[in-house]
Amino acid sequence: MIRLAVRCRPDLADRVLAELVQLAPGGVEEERGLDYVEYAIYGAEGELPALPDLEAVTAGGLLEVVTSEVPDDWADRWRDFHRPILVGDRLWIRPSWEPPRDRMVDVVIDPGHAFGTGAHPTTRLCLELMCELAGAGEASGPLADLGTGSGVLAIAAAKLGWHPVVAADHERPALDAARANAAENGVEIELRRLNLRSEPPPRAATIVANLTAPALAAIARRWAGAPAPDRPRRVVCSGLLAAEADGVAAALRAGGLGEAERRSDGDWTALLMRAG
């Protein structure tokens, strides 16, 4: 197994992550230091993607690209640090080798399938807001998960009470992982392959989207001026650095949504937007 690590300045992390997720939808590992962010992807020798465009994207801010071999028991070692997480005292996100917890909504997501096991701050922020909506009795009606990755948000939504649930992604490996994870969790979600930068998102009263700021802004522009039935009633979104939140909130306001809550975890921010 080969590990390909890309290290960049923190202010360029979102650009590098956006490029890597497109090149390697099978998973991105993140490590942050005082003056750098490192993303890593894994694969067999000869299977890792080329990274010809990263230097141009980062405009000289790319610090290092390193490949290294990892031990054959890497997949087993992953278990040593991939732990369950509790969200909102209600949602228990766990790998399959950990036990469920009594009186908790149980979601099983194993690492290594696709980006989004629930551990990343952007995913947790979305899940927290979803749990609060569910606690307020708003987990009903159709929901669409844009950029579903492993399907963790869509699966959690189905278990919290939303129905029907649509999960959209452009990458086939992500949709395959979401399908497998939905089956593992015993929930039904509709999977759609969509390029959300160029195709309209599914219509749903509730939208969850853990995407980059440019992708969120592009989706918001589609709602601007659209008739009310084509616009969501509420949007939970993350994938945003703190400095990007104002711009995305403004784009969503132009789409008929007002900011109801803003929440941060470290450098990351999530928004809850509601129709007026």
The larger pLDDT score, comparing residue 41 to residue 51, is at: 41
Asked whether residue 1 carries a pLDDT value surpassing 80, the answer given is no
Asked whether residue 181 carries a pLDDT value surpassing 80, the answer given is yes
Q: What local confidence, expressed as pLDDT, does residue 113 receive?
A: 45
Q: What is the mean pLDDT of residues 247-266?
A: 94
DSSP symbols for the chain: -EEEEEEE-GGGHHHHHHHHHHH-TT--EEEE-SS-EEEEEEE-TTTSPP-TTHHHHHTT-EEEEEEEE--TTHHHHGGGT---EEETTTEEEE-TTSPP-TTSEEEE--TTSSS--S-SHHHHHHHHHHHHHHHTT---S-EEEES-TTSHHHHHHHHHT--SEEEEES-HHHHHHHHHHHHHHT---EEEE--TTTSPPPP-SEEEEE--HHHHHHHHHHHTT--GGGS-SEEEEEEEEGGGHHHHHHHHHHTTEEEEEEEEETTEEEEEEEE-
Q: What is the mean pLDDT of residues 228-234?
A: 92
Domain 82-275: which CATH number of 3.90.850.10, 1.10.3720.10, 3.30.930.10, 3.40.50.150: 3.40.50.150
| Tens of pLDDT, residues 212-229 | 888 899 999 999 988 888
Q: What is the Cα–Cα distance from 52 to 161, expressed in whole angstroms?
A: 44
Domain 2-76 class?
A: alpha beta
Q: What is the mean pLDDT of residues 152-158?
A: 97
Q: What local confidence, expressed as pLDDT, does residue 114 receive?
A: 43
Asked whether residue 75 carries a pLDDT value surpassing 60, the answer given is no
Q: What local confidence, expressed as pLDDT, does residue 228 receive?
A: 87
CATH 3.40.50.150 region(s) of the chain? Answer: 82-275
Report the predicted TM-score, pTM, of the whole model to 2 decimal places.
0.76
